[in-house]
Amino acid sequence: MAMNPDFADPSPEDPPAPLKRFEWTEERVALLGTATDEEIAEAVGTSARAVQVERKRRRIAAFRLNVPAVKWTEEMVRMLGTVPDRVVAEKYGISVTTVHNKREDLGIPPFRPSSRKKYPWLPEAVARLGKATDAKVAEELELSENFVSKKRRRLRIPAWKPHAAAVVWTPAMDADFATMTDEEMARKWGIGVRSANDRRHVVQRIPTGLFPMKWTDAHLRMLGTESDIELARQWGCSMEGVRYKRHQLGIPLRNPPPHIDWTPEADALLGTMSDEQVALKLDCSRSSVTNRRNALGIAFVEWRYPREWTAEEDAILGVVPDLEVARRLGISAMTVHARRQVLNRPRAPQPGLDWTPAMDALLGTDSDVKIGKLIGRTGPAVCMRRKKLGIPSMSERLKLREWREG
């Protein structure tokens, strides 16, 4: 398939971006130990492993919930070894490790699976097999994935496949290929990205990539009137595509970028933004900026389209935590952090551990892990809160836990 010129690779004059070492600023270091490594990694834009290494290097303890010491009653002790440690932990709202350590201290052998009662597969539970992945069904029924998988295979129920159903393509769906990417098609019509990609290649013969440029008479009349990069920014396509089309039609630039005399002020802009953005600011060609940056040995900065912030969005910066703002707006926490720094606003206080009525209302409506991800708490924390309020779990409502407590 011939390559669309609108999506040609960038000019070979651009060198590859060198790897940058992640910088641990004072603000980032202050976050270490205040939340889980995974949450901090998402907030500062690095990996959880990198956060863990830096935290250990600075001898900062890992984040732990302030869980009160367990007061063991005679009833709790008698239950040790008669059921799995996980059952004891769920019943009394404590961790499995605490139960395990207590049982080991008392010299009580662990519960043997051979003495375990047979799980009563109710019709509601069997009906879920094959309707989702074994891991998801196991999470909903609070069983192991291997246990669910064995039962499904024993009943000869095929495994769930995300793209098993054939997509029925309509003319309306086919028409969207001209204006949407594969990802946008998948989100709009509820299909897989691979299905959209196959349809685009095999049937529509439309190349994948960014928004495809449709050249109209109005576009062609504007070629050469402004710089290629300015037209590309206005039309939302690549600069190389605009330049290729202009050269293909033999249209020269009416006002070519003037020669620039590099001053210390102009040199100070290099490396602070992309070459395209520097070229726009200095009213010169991108190649001039690239050549000057390479001559000074300044690292390349990837092009990023600036985000337009509204007054309502700016109003919550510094008031709502960056992670929550990022979640609401569907952007990265680093983008929120950068905007807050531009406005010179301090970081919002971290949310407390108080449970609101809205959070309590969600308890028991789904698995503890899913509820925790939804409200920003861990699964054990949700389980403890649910037990404290006497709210049954999802499996208890389906009467699927009688076999454990027999």
Tens-digit pLDDT profile for residues 235-263:
666 666 787 788 888 888 766 656 678 88
Please tell me the predicted confidence (pLDDT) of residue 238: 65
Please tell me the predicted confidence (pLDDT) of residue 147: 85
Please check the confidence at residue 117 and state whether its pLDDT lies above 70.
no
The set of long-range contacts for 331-337, using a CB threshold of 8 Å and a minimum separation of 24, is 331/307, 332/45, 333/42, 333/43, 333/44, 333/45, 334/44, 334/45, 335/307, 337/43
Most confident of 23-32, 229-238, 336-345, 373-382: 23-32
Please check the confidence at residue 382 and state whether its pLDDT lies above 70.
yes
pTM, 2 dp? 0.21
Please check the confidence at residue 96 and state whether its pLDDT lies above 70.
yes
Mean pLDDT of 148-157: 87
Q: What is the pLDDT of residues 186-242, one digit of tens each?
A: 778 877 777 777 777 655 554 444 445 677 777 788 888 877 777 776 666 666 678
Mean pLDDT of 283-299: 79
Rounded-to-10 torsion of CA 141, 144, 148, 149: 150
Phi, psi of 288 (to 5 degrees): -65, -40
Please tell me the predicted confidence (pLDDT) of residue 302: 52
398 vs 246: CA distance, rounded Å: 67
- Look at 283 and 242; give whichever has higher pLDDT: 242
Q: What is the average pLDDT value for the chain, to the nearest integer? A: 76
Query: How far, CA to CA in Å, does 16 sit from each of 11, 228, 276, 277, 280?
Result: 11, 22, 15, 17, 21
Query: How far, CA to CA in Å, does 54 sit from each of 21, 42, 110, 186?
Result: 13, 15, 38, 39
Mean pLDDT of 389-405: 66
Please tell me the predicted confidence (pLDDT) of residue 348: 76
Mean pLDDT of 89-113: 83
- Look at 291 and 165; give whichever has higher pLDDT: 291
Please tell me the predicted confidence (pLDDT) of residue 165: 57
Q: What is the pLDDT of residues 333-348, one digit of tens each?
A: 677 877 888 788 887 7
Portion of the chain with pLDDT greater than 70, in percent = 75
